[in-house]
Structure 1
């Protein structure tokens, strides 16, 4: 078991748990590890407000307490780390139920959204070795491409130079709303908040290709609950 640092000075399992995982960045690192991110650079890109120095510190802290371990160039959860899944997603459930209202402007980061989206591409739905999804935002001058080659998706911020299968146009807030389960894709398309242009074979199956955030079911369930 991991070494205990008696930060709060209370002999209580809740207190000891908080000593290990009670800090904001530690919980967000666990969120990303639980949803499949394993490499340091990928963890860093998914946590843009966290410096690489502090990320290293937090990972070492989690390693020291037996929650995370190194496996070559990857960080993987130990059995004790994996056992935190209901705790982390319990926070998602509580947040969706009680704290998840309209976004603040500083929370809408187009680059982070595209990064998250590319981690949820279901490449098994796509036939062929290469596909390109182009994302255009009405309120962000940057352009993004999700390139899928041989089943591996990556994010490009310059045109990769291959034919585009589908272009997704939206404002940042609307695509966040779809991604997080606040706005069904069908409703976003009907209202014009999201537009698709491209191959019918891909656009018709976009909801299968681009799976939603792992927390979307909690948000969608809250949306469906009568007031």
Structure 2
């Protein structure tokens, strides 16, 4: 006698969808796939609370469900997987409006924030073959470098040995709130929460170079009435 398939055991499309998507970490893995992360090690780096074994298990589940396919070392979304993108970002919109507030200490991970930020760097706004941005937090002793070489950004947690073009100084919570749309960058700069040091021709470009989170617009919209009151 075979064991029943794990799941909700209800003949309903919502139930069937949750059989595929309802397990822990599943939607966050999809979130990172939607923003362009395709390699296992990069997925693991962007989900530091997720064990590599569980990540591998979830990816296998997605393959069996037809949401992704593995080509070489990359996990690519199928048509079924891509159709989940607006659903997930509508969930983000709902979360921004109804569940999102000031960051909690346990949610603040400087390394993760820099990793997220590097994936949103608009390299077309940077001149030359190589540009180096150093991120220095006022409340975290670690230092980070975003190295853009041949239009490809990467993150270093040790000094890469190249001259630094722009230094970004910020407290961790402040930079999170800017990146996620809770605090306008202009306000953060005016109050000293975020500063850019370097040649003016480069520092003036930083607001365009450092694109915000894909959900920042939802967050900004949700806090706008509070700012206006």
- 1:71 is aligned to 71
- 2:161 is aligned to 161
* Cα distance in 2 between the residues matched to 1:55 and 1:206: 34
Alignment of 1:81-160 (within 5 A): 81-160=81-160
Listed one character per residue, the Cα deviations across residues 64-99 of structure 1 (whole Å, up to 9, x for unaligned) are 000111011100110000000111101100100000
Listed one character per residue, the Cα deviations across residues 200-223 of structure 1 (whole Å, up to 9, x for unaligned) are 122101111110011101101111
- 2:186 is aligned to 186
* Cα distance in 1 between the residues matched to 2:208 and 2:42: 23
What secondary structure, in the 3-state scheme, does the structure 1 residue paired with 2:112 have? helix
Structure 2 residue runs of 5 or longer lacking an equivalent are none
Deviation beyond 3 Å, 4+ runs, structure 1: none
* Cα distance in 1 between the residues matched to 2:24 and 2:93: 17
Q: Do the aligned residues in 2 keep the contact of 1:168 with 1:197 (CA within 8 Å)? A: yes
- 2:48 is aligned to 48
* Cα distance in 2 between the residues matched to 1:75 and 1:199: 39
- 2:21 is aligned to 21
Listed one character per residue, the Cα deviations across residues 140-180 of structure 1 (whole Å, up to 9, x for unaligned) are 00000000111111001111111111101111000000000
Provide the alpha-carbon RMSD of the alignment: 1.0
* Cα distance in 2 between the residues matched to 1:21 and 1:185: 35
Structure 1 residue runs of 5 or longer lacking an equivalent are none
What secondary structure, in the 3-state scheme, does the structure 1 residue paired with 2:141 have? strand
What secondary structure, in the 3-state scheme, does the structure 2 residue paired with 1:141 have? coil
Listed one character per residue, the Cα deviations across residues 90-137 of structure 1 (whole Å, up to 9, x for unaligned) are 110010000001111010000000000000011111111000000000
* Cα distance in 2 between the residues matched to 1:12 and 1:57: 25
Q: Do the aligned residues in 2 keep the contact of 1:68 with 1:76 (CA within 8 Å)? A: yes
Q: Do the aligned residues in 2 keep the contact of 1:135 with 1:145 (CA within 8 Å)? A: yes
* Cα distance in 2 between the residues matched to 1:202 and 1:21: 43
TM-superposed deviation, 1:6: 5.8
What secondary structure, in the 3-state scheme, does the structure 1 residue paired with 2:25 have? helix
What secondary structure, in the 3-state scheme, does the structure 2 residue paired with 1:121 have? coil
TM-score normalized by the length of structure 1? 0.96
* Cα distance in 1 between the residues matched to 2:39 and 2:210: 22
Alignment of 1:24-43 (within 5 A): 24-43=24-43
Q: Do the aligned residues in 2 keep the contact of 1:6 with 1:16 (CA within 8 Å)? A: no
